[in-house]
Amino acid sequence: MIEVEHLTRIFRTYKKQPGFWGGLKGLVRREFVDTAAASDISFSIREGEFVGFLGPNGAGKTTTLKMLSGLIYPTSGTARVAGFDPTRRENEYRRIFALVLGQKNQLWWDLPAIESFQLLRHIYGLSAAAYRETLDELVVLLGVSEKLNVMVRELSLGERMKMELIAALLHRPRVLFLDEPTIGLDVISQKAVRSFLRDYNRKHRVTILLTSHYMADIKELCERVVVIHKGKKIYDGALDRLDQNSGSRKKIIRFIPQDAASFAENWQSSFGETKRDAEDGRFTVRVNGENVVAVSQEILTSGPVADITIEDVPLEDVIAELFANQS
């Protein structure tokens, strides 16, 4: 459904010297800085896949989505979405994709959402029956039937985002680009949006490319992720194998001694980094996955414990370590 080959976008910005004389110098000789927002990125996505697109701020995620949407042109490289070239901006292509930007609004601020939906119906040339069928389905799934006639500016942030999703899906797109769709939402609204996206993807086999800084979005929705850093792709594969790519498939072991005297305050495991919480006396050991059994035996032979847990390293830490390794 999506084929990206060596996609590159370079932005040139003017570097102004400070002060009045700096401004005068700029009139005679200007200094420019070239920044590669996307650099030689290649990947492909099959129909119906739900793929996470990860990277730190400024990595080039939004730039890539805008190139796939035809909003900006690539400096070099090619992209094909459902067989279309986004740079040509054909009407047939515009009818099969939708772009949702978490920090941008497409609904009229001073009108009820239902009126913006009516406008979109005429823009896309939808029949009254098809429009009503799609709208009713989306309204029920997102639970906003009582808010359709409320001014958009009077809706909460979560309600506005739900309306934005409805507006994006009214024409039944085959490809959906989502840029931070849950940004700023409370926990309940985030959960509702994630549940909707998961169910909609499974029911309609829509190809979705999602960017988000909330790792809960990625873990619940995506089995595959593409990670970019400083405009370059550094990982493309299964989410559950991401920690292997970072070079450290690690586990975290936490335990509380049953008797404080059994473990010295400076007790250290011989297999990994050990820290102790001064308040509750809990020890935390970060170890490689193959050493979990050995560390557990080491702990239990050192003294009795009241509680012990073994868990995966949080995805946020894995991503941060991957970026740090690249830097």
Kindly report, residue by residue over 111-166, the tens digit of the pLDDT: 999 999 999 999 999 999 999 999 999 998 888 889 899 999 998 888 888 999 99
Question: Minimal CA–CA distance to 64: which of 214, 188, 232?
Answer: 232
Q: How many CA atoms lie within 13 A of 100 on its CB side?
A: 27
Tell me what pLDDT residue 248 has: 53
Residue 26 has pLDDT above 80, yes or no: no
Tell me what pLDDT residue 64 has: 92
Q: Which domains does the chain carry?
A: 2-243 (3.40.50.300), 247-326 (3.30.70)
Strand, helix or coil for residue 81: strand
Q: Where are any strands of DSSP class E within 102-249?
A: 175-179, 207-211, 224-229, 232-238
Tell me what pLDDT residue 245 has: 57
Instruction: Name the percent of the chain lying above pLDDT 90.
Output: 37
Q: How confident is the model at residue 249 (pLDDT cuts 50, 70, 90)?
A: low
Tell me what pLDDT residue 235 has: 86
The pTM score is 0.78
Residue 231 has pLDDT above 70, yes or no: yes
Instruction: Name the percent of the chain lying above pLDDT 70.
Output: 95
113-123 helix and 157-169 helix, angle to the nearest 10 degrees: 20
Side-by-side strand order, sheet with 224-229? 97-101, 175-179, 207-211, 50-54, 224-229, 232-238
